[in-house]
Amino acid sequence: MSTRPEDHASQHSRPSELKITDIRTATVGWEGWRFPIIRIDTNQGLSGYGEVRDGASKNYALMLKSRLLGENPCNVDKVFRKIKQFGHHARQGGGVCGVEMALMDLAGKAYGVPAYVLAGGKFRDAIRMYCDTPNEPTGEAMGHKLKERMSHGFTMLKMDIGIQPLIGEKNTLTYPAGILKTDDGTELDRMLDINSIQHPFTHVRLTPKGIEMLCEYVEQVRAVVGYEVPIAADHFGHIGVDDCIRLGEALEPFNLAWLEDMVPWQFTDQWAKMERALKTPVCTGEDIYLKEGFLPLLQAHAVNVIHPDLATSGGILEQYGAPHGRYTDQYNGRRAMCRRH
Ligand SMILES: [Mg+2]
C-alpha cells in the first residue's frame, strides 16, 4: 500500500507529477488603482491565482518565470526559498508574494483542500474588517464619510489626517522652499524631491497652528461619528519623529485606535521613542518584507500594532503560518492586516 500523502487526498491531478508551465498576468484597476493578477499554469490543466501588490508592476512576478518553470507548485516552501531573494520591501515584494499565493492556490487545488489547511488549519470563521478612508477636505466631511462606512456595517475605521490639507494654509508648516508641492520653490529646490527623501529628513515641521488645525479636524470627525467606534489614522506625511510626538500628544484626547507609519518602518529607535512618548498605540508594517523584518520592532517593543500586508510580507505561509502569530504573541503585540480591495 502506498504511503504517499497525495494518495489519501481527493485530487484533480497527480500532485507529485505537477509541473509549472507558464505564468500569465492581467492587470485590473479603477480610479488610479491597479492590481496585477497572476495565473500560474501547469502541465495538468490546474491553474493558481495570486496578486502582485496594488500599484506594483506585474514585472516583479514575470521576472521569476525562469525560476518557476518545471517546478512542482506543491513544493511551496522549496520554491519560495528559491525566489525570495528576488523580493524586497514594499511593492518590490509583490512578485514573490503573488507567486506564493498562486502556489498555495495550486497546491490546495491539487490536494483538494483550501489553502488555509496547508497553512495550519482554520482559526476562525469570520474576521473583522476595518475600512480605510482617504483625505477629505474637512473633518466634518470625513466624519460623514466614516458614518457612511458604518452604515455599511463596518465597526472599525481608518482615515487619513496628514499634513497635505495644510499645504498652502498660512503659518501651519515650516519647510525648505520647494520641498512641498507648492509654487514657491526654485528649480534647484525642486531637485530636493520629497519622493527621494524619507520622512525624518525633509525638515518639514508642523507649527502650533498646524497642530491645532489637525486637532480641530479630528474633533469635527469625532463630533459627527462619536467616540464609540475605533478610528485609526494614517498618511501623516513627511514630518520627523519629534513632530510626530508633538502631534500624537495633541491628538490623544480623540482616542485614536492607532497612529500608522508616522516614520518609515526601518527606524526602530524612532518607533521606540514614539511608543514610549505616546499613550496612543503606534503601528507599522505594511511595507515590511518577510517575517524577519518585523523582529527588530517587536524585540524593541517599539510598536503596539503590527500591520503586515499579505502581498509584501511574504504571502500566505509567511503571513498566516505560526511564526508571525507567535512573534506577535510573544512580544505582546496586536496585529492588523493591511490589504486594499
Ligand atoms: Mg497604511
How large is the C-alpha radius of gyration of the chain?
22
The angle formed by the CA atoms of residues 289, 292 and 295, to the nearest 5 degrees, is 115
Ligand 1 center to 93 CA (angstroms): 16
Does pLDDT of 311 surpass 50? yes
C-alpha cell at 15: 500532485
Domain-wise residue ranges, the chain: 5-118, 139-284
Ligand 1 center to 124 CA (angstroms): 25
Does pLDDT of 141 surpass 50? yes
C-alpha cell at 59: 514585472
Ligand 1 center to 110 CA (angstroms): 35
Count of alpha carbons within 13 angstroms of residue 177, beta-carbon side: 7
The pLDDT > 90 percentage for the chain reads 71
For the domain bounded by 139-284, which CATH number is listed? 3.20.20.120
Ligand 1 center to 3 CA (angstroms): 47
Ligand 1 center to 132 CA (angstroms): 9
Closest CA to 244 of 287, 211, 293: 211
CATH architecture of the domain with residue range 5-118: 2-Layer Sandwich (3.30)
Ligand 1 center to 285 CA (angstroms): 8
Confidence at residue 2, expressed as pLDDT on a 0 to 100 scale: 60
For 59-83, write each residue's pLDDT tens digit.
Answer: 999 999 999 999 999 999 999 999 9
Ion ligand 1: residues, CB < 5 A: 234
Cα 78 from Cα 68, distance rounded (Å): 11
The pLDDT > 70 percentage for the chain reads 86
Confidence at residue 323, expressed as pLDDT on a 0 to 100 scale: 43
Cα 334 from Cα 304, distance rounded (Å): 6
Domains 5-118 and 139-284 equal at CATH topology level: no
Confidence at residue 8, expressed as pLDDT on a 0 to 100 scale: 58
Closest CA to 102 of 175, 218, 167, 18: 18
- Please state whether the predicted TM-score (pTM) of the whole model is above 0.85: yes
Confidence at residue 296, expressed as pLDDT on a 0 to 100 scale: 94
Can you tell me the mean pLDDT for 144-161?
Answer: 97
Q: Quick one: pLDDT band at residue 31, thresholds 50, 70, 90? A: confident
Does pLDDT of 321 surpass 70? no
Ligand 1 center to 270 CA (angstroms): 18
Lowest mean pLDDT of 13-22, 122-131, 148-157, name the range. Answer: 13-22
Does pLDDT of 15 surpass 80? no
Which has the higher per-residue pLDDT, 197 or 290?
290
* Helix locations, 119-225, DSSP H: 139-151, 187-190, 208-225
Cα 150 from Cα 148, distance rounded (Å): 5
Does pLDDT of 185 surpass 60? no
Confidence at residue 165, expressed as pLDDT on a 0 to 100 scale: 84
Can you tell me the mean pLDDT for 156-178?
Answer: 90
Burial class (CB in 10 A: 0-12, 13-18, 19+), 205: middle
Confidence at residue 205, expressed as pLDDT on a 0 to 100 scale: 96
Which has the higher per-residue pLDDT, 55 or 3?
55
Q: Give yes or no for a contact between 231 and 158, defined as CB atoms under 8 angstroms apart.
A: yes
Does pLDDT of 42 surpass 60? yes
Ligand 1 center to 286 CA (angstroms): 6
Does pLDDT of 91 surpass 80? yes
Does pLDDT of 215 surpass 90? yes
Does pLDDT of 188 surpass 60? no
Ligand 1 center to 234 CA (angstroms): 6
